[in-house]
Amino acid sequence: MNAGPARRQERDVDALVIGAGAAGCVAARRLALAGHEVLVLHNGTGATRLSSGAFDVGDDLRDDVPGNSSDPLSPSSARAGMLDVATKRLRHPYAQLSAGARAQMDDAIRFFFDATPGLSWHRSLSLNENLVALTQLGTAKRTFAALRHMAYVGDQQRCAVMDLRDCGGVNAGQIAAMLRHVTALSARELSYVTVPVARVFRGPALGHPAHMARALDADESAQERFVSEVETALAGHGDVELALFPAVFGPDLADRLEERTGVPCRALMALPPSAPGQLLVDALHRGAKACGAELVRAQVSSAEVEDGRVTRVHAEAPGLTVRPQVVVLATGRFLGGGLSRDQVGRETVFGLPLLAEGQVVGDRFIGEFTGPVVDSEHEIFRAGIGYDAQLRPVGVRGAKVAHNLFAAGSVLEGYDPARDASGLGVCALTGYLAAGFALEVLDAAEDAAA
């Protein structure tokens, strides 16, 4: 197919964003909206695609004892959560950023929701309230916002877990049992029943909700059969006020289901491979492109820094060298590909040191960066690159690497989305801020040129 030696293309751009997850897309959109030429390079993977359909900003870092001090079914405040994180986790971006920067969270969140065109979110009107989402593991979790068709606790009392005969990979009975247990731990009483839905597809059962989502997506007539089977099933359970499904449908089909059955039909927070995560990434890409950013799939391999300035960034497949004015590094963590640890820990594009709790990970035994049990704190999952108050990556001694390089999202050191309840919120904030700082550099360059 590929005859001849691959030719390297060279390009000048105003802004290069490396990574098209939540952080990269937010940054790209803001830079593009300001009228700059923006190129986004990404390799198609990343944590955003795997996320569950919820958007966390902050939650009080309770010692996580449901039914005790803090009831997971009672909403908390995202703003208080941010403060809690900032005071308890001193290396967390919320703590490292200035209070002024942190105060831009309201703007950043508004920006984030605008950056996902075509998706609608269920969220509180202010940062003062988190909602309670229900997950496919049968648990509840507090979060700031959820895709509108996802399951969260509203004022319904009587809930049904829909048992889709087509869909392997879930055990509706056990999810309902776990939800009953979780609810019993709470002050808020909800009841759960299991409702079987007859098969819609012929052939072997589908192995995972994401498979069924794909199959439904591809087949209009199956959608219709699905809707009418759900209708029949719910007709036999007239008292059900909320129907919960594994994440096999998007917002449109959810609307159709509700229209036909008269019962709100929602998807439980998904486990990867996650159909809602895919929806989110697709929307973020649309949002960046709509403002003129160009997204290109390529593997970024290295970069050149001269006199405190990133001058060139190299990518492979396709071979491409970019000469940017500013760069936003939003390559994520180990899942995204921004960080790696293969006997030696490092950031993958600039070769920056990987820090955990401020210490260089280097080639030290990985066991030193992990806790003894699976759910303890693991330093390696708070690892990332060091950065200054302008979100500029710094080397070991704290000096910035380049004045036109900024970082955003989960590549930053100091936070663990699985323990700080602030995953996409940090991406939205730092993506927004990094673009803002980059704009200052671009503006200064324009002024100088003028």
Ligand X SMILES: Cc1cc2nc3c(=O)[nH]c(=O)nc-3n(C[C@H](O)[C@H](O)[C@H](O)COP(=O)(O)OP(=O)(O)OC[C@H]3O[C@@H](n4cnc5c(N)ncnc54)[C@H](O)[C@@H]3O)c2cc1C
Residues that bind ligand X in the complex, under the rule CB under 6 A: 18-24, 41-48, 50-52, 54-56, 143, 272, 299-300, 330-332, 335-338, 348-349, 409-410, 417, 423-424, 427
Choose one: 51-59, 113-121, 147-155, 433-441; the region binding other proteins (CB under 8 A): 51-59
Q: Which residue's CB is nearer to ligand X, number 227 or number 433? A: 433
* Two tokens, residue 68: 């005790």
**Residue 376 near other proteins by CB under 8 A:** yes
From first CA to last CA, the distance across the chain in angstroms is 47
Q: How far apart are CA 37 and CA 333, in angstroms?
A: 26
Mark out the alpha helices in 346-422 (DSSP H runs): 417-420
Give the nearest residue (CB) to ligand X.
21
Q: How far apart are CA 300 and CA 338, in angstroms?
A: 10
DSSP at 185: T
Closest separation in Å from C-beta 245 to other proteins: 16
In a 13 Å sphere around the CA of 25, the CA atoms on its Cβ side amount to 26
Q: Which residue's CB is nearer to ligand X, number 284 or number 402? A: 284
Closest separation in Å from C-beta 210 to ligand X: 12
3-state helix, strand, coil in the chain (%, to 5): 35, 25, 40
Q: How far apart are CA 168 and CA 156, in angstroms?
A: 27
Could you identify the residue written with the tokens 């009392």?
Answer: 157
Residues 127-165 as b or e (16 or more Cβ within 10 Å = b): beebbbbbbbebbbbbbbbbbbbbbbbeeeeebbbbbbe
In the range 240-299, which residues lie near other proteins by CB under 8 A? 269-272
Choose one: 22-30, 35-43, 64-72, 88-96; the region binding other proteins (CB under 8 A): 64-72
Closest separation in Å from C-beta 135 to ligand X: 9
- Residue 46 binds which entry of other proteins, ligand X, none, CB below 5-8 Å type-dependent: ligand X
In the range 402-421, which residues lie near other proteins by CB under 8 A? 416-419
Choose one: 9-17, 33-41, 47-55, 436-444; the region binding other proteins (CB under 8 A): 47-55
Q: How far apart are CA 406 and CA 377, in angstroms?
A: 28
**Residue 189 near other proteins by CB under 8 A:** no
Closest separation in Å from C-beta 388 to other proteins: 26
- Residue 330 binds which entry of ligand X, other proteins, none, CB below 5-8 Å type-dependent: ligand X
Closest separation in Å from C-beta 36 to other proteins: 32
Q: How far apart are CA 267 and CA 333, in angstroms?
A: 27
Contact between residue 178 and residue 72 where contact means Cβ atoms under 8 Å apart? no
Could you identify the residue written with the tokens 């591809």?
Answer: 218
* Two tokens, residue 294: 């160009």
- Residue 230 binds which entry of ligand X, other proteins, none, CB below 5-8 Å type-dependent: none
**Residue 43 near other proteins by CB under 8 A:** no
- Residue 424 binds which entry of ligand X, other proteins, none, CB below 5-8 Å type-dependent: ligand X
In the range 3-22, which residues lie near other proteins by CB under 8 A? none
